[in-house]
Amino acid sequence: MSDFNKSSLSEIVNLIKSKKVSSSEITSHYIKNIEKGKKLNSFITTCFEEALKKAKEFDNKKNFNGLLPGVPLAVKDLFCTKNVKTTAGSKILENFIPTYESSVTHNLWSEGAILLGKLNCDEFAMGSSNETSYFGNVINPIGKDLVPGGSSGGSASALAANLTPATIGTDTGGSIRQPASFTGTVGLKPTYGLCSRWGIVAFASSLDQAGPMTKNVEDCALLLEAMSGYDGKDSTSINKKKEKYSKNLNQKVKGLKIGIPKEYRIENMPKEIDSLWKKGIDILKKSGAKIIDISLPHTKYALSTYYIVAPAEASSNLARYDGVKYGYRSNKGKNLIEMYENTRGEGFGDEVKRRVLIGTYVLSSGYYDAYYLKAQKVRRLIKNDFDKCFKSVDAILTPSTPSSAFKIGEKTNDPISMYLNDIFTVPVNLAGIPAISIPAGQDNKGHPLGLQLISKALDEQKILNIAFAMEKSIAFKQSLNRWWE
């Protein structure tokens, strides 16, 4: 058997299509990898038997019409999967088995993909290091003591370690791009409304978006194409024709105007990040793009805005976890109210509690105007900044994160320093626009760093193309010695 660990998603699709390899072979390969990768703790649930069965079914009745024929994939455990446990990384959903399939995963299976298992994540996607999961923290394959980022930490870790050929995550404030950056992989947060939210455990409804996490840009285009699409079951879904991102992928950058926002040059930013950014700018210049200095003046308010809006929505979204219809129920408490309090007190972890409490507080009577309403107004200002800039530029280039992967436990006692990790990713969610993070280099410790490309709404193709061109020039290499096996 050839070494599929070097193969990208697109290559695997081609191998299967050209009948050089069967779905069963590929599936068995990844199952072996997953079994050997337990140390990473990137999986919460595996479904090997079912996956092998499906692979065999595919091999017996080959159908190459889909974009992902017979390709096994693991997905973040925030997507509800029919008859497969879905936990959102929380004790409160420890035993929840949905009777339904999320629209996004349904799209993947319709394109021929096969579910390998469910990937660990921060509890209810609240976290930037995958340390808030009830199922334990996830290890970054880059280094034993490093976090993989979050909240799609299990997804990033499994992808970087080749426990899945590609994966999907969700991104509310950076949950795809930051772990992608931390693990040397590609992650894209689509335009709000491009991928259906139906069947995804909600964190903050006005910010949540599912997106692809892949080894390269080509895979990213392919997976985005497979997962996206209008869904009448989601009122915020954008009704438009499906784009052919893979077919239209090219490296034409010449003549494009790339904005460099001065506000992203933050105080105390590590030199390595700054030089990485410069490297990106140089590459684009060489490719014929025009570099333009721009200003997004309200950037510095984005994190504060986010940490009001997201917890507020979360406090309401998480009210349904009350021990009545599904999930964990505490057996303590004499009456309904006590049952609620104990169920939620025992069922939620500390970070979730913090955010639910903050969210409840900022919505409560007497504080709503000062916090929530204010934040919604600032959110408009932040969006206006972007709208204005995209009148004169095609895309914006920024670093993905202010640092490389940090150590496990390093920031758990200081919520604010943890939150600061999302400083470059959060504005994009607030504005509802797409952004992609691609690996662009390593710091002096050898830890990967990412660059982020941002475009106006529904311009995914443009940032994919720019990223595709940059990827070629950067020629990022990451060789892991598979220490976890």
- The residues assigned a catalytic role are 76, 151, 175
Touching other proteins, residues 275-304 (CB under 8 A): 298, 300-301, 303-304
Give yes or no for residue 356 binding other proteins (CB under 8 A): yes
Least distance to other proteins from the beta carbon of 128, Å? 14
**Only segment of 29-37, 140-148, 321-329, 445-453 that touches other proteins (CB under 8 A):** 321-329
Kind and range of the H or E element at 453? strand 448-454
Give yes or no for residue 210 binding other proteins (CB under 8 A): no
* Pairing assessment for the beta strands 167-171 and 448-454 based on DSSP bridges: unpaired
Residues contacting other proteins: total by CB under 8 A: 99
The binding track of 91-110 with respect to other proteins, each residue x by CB under 8 A or -, is --x-xxxxxx-x--------
* Pairing assessment for the beta strands 209-214 and 167-171 based on DSSP bridges: antiparallel
Our measurement of the distance from residue 395's CA atom to the centroid of its chain's CA atoms, rounded to an integer in Å, reads: 20
Give yes or no for residue 360 binding other proteins (CB under 8 A): yes
**HSE-CB for 193 with a 13 A CA cutoff:** 15
Q: Which of 199, 399, 448, 450 touches other proteins (CB under 8 A)?
A: 199
Give yes or no for residue 409 binding other proteins (CB under 8 A): no
Q: CA-to-CA distance for 337 and 333, rounded, in angstroms?
A: 8
Closer to other proteins by Cβ: residue 323 or 448: 323
Give yes or no for residue 200 binding other proteins (CB under 8 A): yes
Strand-pair partners of 398: 452
The binding track of 417-436 with respect to other proteins, each residue x by CB under 8 A or -, is --x----------xxx----
Q: Which of 257, 263, 354, 459 touches other proteins (CB under 8 A)?
A: 354
Both structure tokens of 31: 């199952």
Least distance to other proteins from the beta carbon of 103, Å? 9
Q: CA-to-CA distance for 204 and 309, rounded, in angstroms?
A: 8
Q: Which of 235, 268, 444, 479 touches other proteins (CB under 8 A)?
A: 235
Closer to other proteins by Cβ: residue 219 or 422: 422
- Ramachandran class of 239: left when φ > 0, alpha when ψ lies in -120 to 50, beta otherwise: beta
Closer to other proteins by Cβ: residue 112 or 154: 154
Q: Which residues of 333-368 are buried (b: 16+ CB within 10 A; e: fewer)?
A: beeeeebbebbbeebbbebbbebbebbbebbeeeee
Please, are residues 114 and 70 in contact by the beta-carbon 8 Å criterion? yes
Query: By C-alpha distance, which of 439, 420, 403 is closest to 146?
Result: 403
Q: CA-to-CA distance for 454 and 157, rounded, in angstroms?
A: 24
Closer to other proteins by Cβ: residue 307 or 406: 307
Q: Which regions of 142-189 does DSSP assign to beta strands (E)?
A: 167-171, 186-189
Least distance to other proteins from the beta carbon of 404, Å? 24
Give yes or no for residue 377 binding other proteins (CB under 8 A): yes
Closer to other proteins by Cβ: residue 272 or 351: 351
Angle between helices 374-389 and 302-317 (to 10 degrees): 120
Q: CA-to-CA distance for 38 and 199, rounded, in angstroms?
A: 27
Give yes or no for residue 6 binding other proteins (CB under 8 A): no
Least distance to other proteins from the beta carbon of 373, Å? 6
Closer to other proteins by Cβ: residue 235 or 444: 235
Q: CA-to-CA distance for 275 and 265, rounded, in angstroms?
A: 11
**HSE-CB for 464 with a 13 A CA cutoff:** 30
Q: Which of 134, 371, 406, 476 touches other proteins (CB under 8 A)?
A: 371
Our measurement of the distance from residue 343's CA atom to the centroid of its chain's CA atoms, rounded to an integer in Å, reads: 29
Closer to other proteins by Cβ: residue 48 or 230: 230
Touching other proteins, residues 75-94 (CB under 8 A): 80, 86, 88, 93
Give yes or no for residue 344 binding other proteins (CB under 8 A): yes
Touching other proteins, residues 437-466 (CB under 8 A): 457
Please state whether the peptide bond connecting residue 151 to the residue before it is cis, i.e. omega within 30 degrees of 0. yes
**Only segment of 63-71, 113-121, 272-280, 376-384 that touches other proteins (CB under 8 A):** 376-384
Least distance to other proteins from the beta carbon of 482, Å? 35
Touching other proteins, residues 40-69 (CB under 8 A): none
Please, are residues 309 and 430 in contact by the beta-carbon 8 Å criterion? yes
